[in-house]
């Protein structure tokens, strides 16, 4: 489990989604990476299978490739990294599983004086969970939804988050890994068909 507070950026060194289904990532973690640990890689919970110096390798499944934006990554792509929570760690964002619910499409980027505003189009199976001020995870980043209209949401990004995550590299049309807040998901499921 993660918090969605990004403190590290990784660089894809090698990516093979056709034969070996593995990715080599160069990281700037200060702390040691341990075999078998879970790391959120732009919102996708992946397991470390090999470590050498500042690089680690992860395996990916066909299911993960189909449900995430991994197929858009190339050697040199920058990704958000977060190590899993330990008991007693501060939860600065919200509880994030690293289980991507689907990909959303970036429709617009607006630059305001104090923030960037992203307009993101969500699929029907995801938009139903959205409400103003709810939490959402985009590419592993814990964010707050400002506005919901039909099939799009608007999210404000403060300058620090913009500068210190992979968001500064995104472009209109990009696919974004999206995870719905677990509380919204389970509340919706519990109430479904009962109101």
- Average pLDDT, integer, range 30-41: 94
Which residue in 46, 44, 72, 70 sits closest to 59, CA to CA? 46
- Structure-token match 């389970």, residue found: 186
Predicted TM-score (pTM) of the model is 0.93
CA 48 to chain centre: 17
At 16 the three-state DSSP class reads strand
**Under CATH, which architecture does the 8-83 domain have?**
Beta Barrel (2.40)
CB atoms within 10 A of CB 139: 29
Q: Where are the domains of the chain?
A: 8-83, 102-191
What confidence tier does 92 reach under pLDDT thresholds 50, 70, 90?
confident
Nearest to 5 by CA among 94, 73, 72: 94
Specify the CATH class of 102-191 in words. Answer: mainly beta
Instruction: Work out the mean pLDDT of the chain and round it to a whole number.
Output: 93
Same topology, domains 8-83 and 102-191? Answer is yes
pLDDT of residue 43: 97
Residue 133 has pLDDT above 80, yes or no: yes
Please compute the mean of the pLDDT values over residues 15-44 and round it to a whole number.
Answer: 94
């Amino acid at each position: 489990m993660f918090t969605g507070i990004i403190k590290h950026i990784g660089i894809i060194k090698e990516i093979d989604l056709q034969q070996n289904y593995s990715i080599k990532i160069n990281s700037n973690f200060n702390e040691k990476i341990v075999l078998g640990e879970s790391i959120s890689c732009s919102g996708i919970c992946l397991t470390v299978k090999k470590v050498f110096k500042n690089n680690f390798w992860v395996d990916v499944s066909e299911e993960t490739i189909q449900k995430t934006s991994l197929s858009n990554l190339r050697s040199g792509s920058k990704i958000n990294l977060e190590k899993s929570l330990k008991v007693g760690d501060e939860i600065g964002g919200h509880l994030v599983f690293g289980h991507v619910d689907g990909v959303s499409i970036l429709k617009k980027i607006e630059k305001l004086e104090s923030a960037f505003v992203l307009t993101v189009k969500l699929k029907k199976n995801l938009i139903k969970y959205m409400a103003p001020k709810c939490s959402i995870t985009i590419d592993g980043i814990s964010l707050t939804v400002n506005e919901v209209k039909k099939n799009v949401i608007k999210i404000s990004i403060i300058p620090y988050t913009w500068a210190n995550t992979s968001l500064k590299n995104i472009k209109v049309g990009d696919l974004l890994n999206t995870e719905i807040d677990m509380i919204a998901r389970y509340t919706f499921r519990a109430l479904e068909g009962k109101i």
